[in-house]
Homo-oligomer: A and B are copies of this chain.
Amino acid sequence: MITIAVDAMGGDMGPEVTIAGSALALKCHSNLRLIFYGVANKVEPILKQHPNLITCPFYATETATAMDEKPSQALRNGRGKSSMWHAIDAVKSGEADACVSAGNTGALMAMSYFCLRMLPEAERPGIAGIWPTIHGESIVLDIGATIGADANQLVDFAVMGAGMFRALYHIRKPSVGLLNIGVEEVKGLEEIRKAAHLLRTIPSEVLEYKGFVEGNDIGKGTVDVVVTEGFVGNIALKTAEGTVQQVSRILNKAMHQSIFSRLGYCLSSGAFRYFRQRLDPRKVNGGVLLGLNGVVVKSHGGTDAEGFASALHVGYEMIKNELLDKIAIDLRHFHEKKPIFTASKDGSG
């Protein structure tokens, strides 16, 4: 049995979406158990609407973390009180194996860090996002947990991202690339070149280092795991989201320009459905907070029930495939094999 703690209050739509999504997820996984945390008068009426959730434990919490609270504020106001805090704390206490929330990302990061602490092998947390590509999906990290990363931290991201990819897609040695502004070895920031040196020289059974990749390689799916620090990763993610919106808007406008294009649009409705599905963020919803001493999945705040179910599925797979234990072993393995663990003096590319 795999138990997931659900922050029922998180997300733009709150319990309406998180509970409907939970009901969907439970239909797919017979050995999944859910625990709900939320404000009673908001959650209970909706829980009652879903017969398959009746046996799930529900814990009433005093508050919910607002979507616009600053991380420090959320931690101060929510510690020991909010649904988000309690859902994370259930992972710490061992009551749940993982936690899923569609709430405020900064708050989730801060509370998880404060409550669960880091894996002893990891230095810095990262948020790993699942990115739809031409061929399927890639994992990109960090998409905004922290700003900046040195060479060792980038290597840790590579190892953790590969572990997550393996857990989700069952590929033995996922390919890994470092995001840079050129593929030549001399290009880009020094810490990225140092990380490249480390990834090239440390023999690994858990990932295959493919060199530098550029921004356009992400959508192409050139590698399974794209590694970058949080500022750049967040800008890249949002730029891609904006571009998909932009392209869809222009396409929509184009298809309604004339009677012919409208007729064509009707005839091609199946094709457009396929097109939208392939780009549907709900299908690949779920950023995972990596490096922490527990599995915490962040669902997109604006998602619907199907999207939230998909985030629960990600949490489920992480636990089923023993992500944390494996990541800890992989990180230890990498750290032991590092020539000398002082990348700052080492490997200028």
Contact = CB atoms under 8 A, between A and B. Distances in A.
A32 interface: no
Nearest to A260: B267
Nearest to A249: B134
B247 A220 contact: no
A228 to B, nearest CB: 8
Contacts of A279: 247, 250
Interface string A222-253: 00000010111011111111111111111101
B179 A235 contact: yes
Contacts of A218: 239, 242
B243 A219 contact: yes
Contacts of A181: 144, 147, 230-231, 234-235, 238
A261 interface: yes
B271 A250 contact: no
A40 interface: no
A192 to B, nearest CB: 9
Contact of A270 (B234, B245, B257): B257
Contacts of A70: 184, 186
Interface string A251-294: 10111011011011111111110110011000000000000000
Given A147-B181, A216-B242, A251-B251, 14 more contacts: A70-B184, A147-B188, A181-B238, A214-B235, A215-B234, A215-B240, A218-B242, A219-B239, A232-B232, A232-B235, A254-B272, A254-B274, A260-B271, A265-B271
